[in-house]
Amino acid sequence: MKNRIDNQKWYVDNFNLFKSSNKNVFSTLSNKAIEKFKTLEFPTKKDEEWKYININPLLKNNFLPSSLSANSSVNLETIEEYTLDNLDVYRFVFVNGIFNSELSTGLDFGKDIIAGSLSNLLNKNDTRLEKLFDIKNKLQKDNNIFNLLNTAFLHDGFLLYLPKGTIIDKPFHVINISTGNNKLLNQPHNLIHLESNSKAEIIFEYVSEKATEHFTNIVTEISVDENANLNVYKIQNESPNAFHIENSNILQKNSSVVKHFSLSFGALITRNNINAELDGENVENNLYGLYLGNKNQQIDNHTFIEHIKPNSNSNELYKGILDDDAKGIFSGKILVQKEAQKTNAFQSNKSVLLSNKAISDSKPQLEIYADDVKCSHGATVGKLDQEALFYIRSRGVPLELARSMLIRAFIDDVVKEISIEQLREKINHTIFQHLKRVEF
């Protein structure tokens, strides 16, 4: 208890330092956020939304907001380790949450497109920002303390604005690397807005240069207008001692299509919250998740999908592989409003336990106010199929490789949805590397 209060006070004290050095269009927003932050408390297991995860190890630490620490950089070679073979991308690199233009490539866009660092626009006091993002209403319904912590220290993040009909030819690869001292708090604030009929793919990759204990607390706001199409691949492969929280909000209008992947490998504690508001007809919303835990990792995925208008589809598929003492949590809520007739909502969470001590908790919730809908959810937890293992081994394949084949098979329906081939290969490689198993 004391830990929590001290921890909260630490961030408030640091805010006062941050405030004096920071004057931009968002300072009012920051002030409001810290005021609200003060009125809340960090969650405990008594909170329904946090009941399966233990975040005490996170709250025991006072992390220094990176905007208050000395600027740091990493070598270009370090960044190039993350590049995908022969894949042409627009690369944006953030070091400890702060944009680094020297490590970034291919940044020339027409004047109507905004792609890059949020801080560049913040510091220019560009009024387009206010128009793009509904600042006035931004905090009204926000009661998430981590979200407020991020907004209070708002200073940088990946910003993408595509005007009507803009088709982006290659993916954005946004690499967020944490480096330097222990105990830094990195808080990217990503804002994505696709106007009607535009199209983009973004790979968000969160990594650590060393095995440091740091805290990455992200806010990602995504808004997709009519007929626009967005693929988001979020890869979290941070240090095994890191803490990682992301709050994503996705707002979709008529006939828009979003495919969002949460691919979690690293960090001691991971919490991904996704809120998707399907505020249009014929919307397609696809949320895919893959989480791999070993040692004493905890990975907690929360999704909330709200169907507001008729004739939209949502489809969720989360798969976990848990080894050693790892814990995987999935909590998915689907809310279908009265007006949202002919909704199709499908949700599935499956996990495989590779050890007797690994744990999987799954909590689906459906709340439906419309009468003509198709909704389903399902959750399974199991071990690798012994008969399948025997079959594979009976053809000469050694046990470890046979296990890898079945693991690979288990997650195939998520991996095959990744439309970038090089990314599929990278994910495949990361899976086996992370599980310390033979690659298949």
* Contacting residues toward other proteins, per CB under 8 A: 385-388, 390-399, 401-402, 405-406, 408-413, 440
Q: Select 129 or 411, whichever has its Cβ closest to other proteins.
A: 411
On whether the CB atoms of residues 159 and 124 are closer than 8 A, the answer is no
| SS3 at position 152 | helix
**Min CB(397)–other proteins separation in Å:** 5
**Min CB(382)–other proteins separation in Å:** 14
Q: Select 382 or 398, whichever has its Cβ closest to other proteins.
A: 398
**Min CB(426)–other proteins separation in Å:** 19
Q: Select 46 or 416, whichever has its Cβ closest to other proteins.
A: 416
**Min CB(416)–other proteins separation in Å:** 9
Q: How far apart are CA 241 and CA 210, in angstroms?
A: 10
Residue 267 region by backbone torsions, left for phi larger than 0, else alpha for psi between -120 and 50, else beta:
left
Contacts with 141 (C-beta within 8 Å, 6 or more apart), sequence order: none
Q: How far apart are CA 265 and CA 233, in angstroms?
A: 13
Q: Select 283 or 407, whichever has its Cβ closest to other proteins.
A: 407
- Backbone φ and ψ of 328, nearest 5°: -120, 140
Q: Select 369 or 391, whichever has its Cβ closest to other proteins.
A: 391
Q: Select 39 or 394, whichever has its Cβ closest to other proteins.
A: 394
Residue 121 in tokens: 């626009």
Specify the DSSP class assigned to residue 111: T
Burial of residue 329 (number of CB atoms within 10 Å: 0-12, 13-18, 19+): buried
Q: How far apart are CA 406 and CA 384, in angstroms?
A: 7
Q: Select 164 or 408, whichever has its Cβ closest to other proteins.
A: 408
Q: How far apart are CA 236 and CA 418, in angstroms?
A: 16
**Min CB(428)–other proteins separation in Å:** 12
Q: How far apart are CA 428 and CA 411, in angstroms?
A: 10
Contacts with 211 (C-beta within 8 Å, 6 or more apart), sequence order: 239, 240, 241
**Min CB(319)–other proteins separation in Å:** 11
**Min CB(399)–other proteins separation in Å:** 7
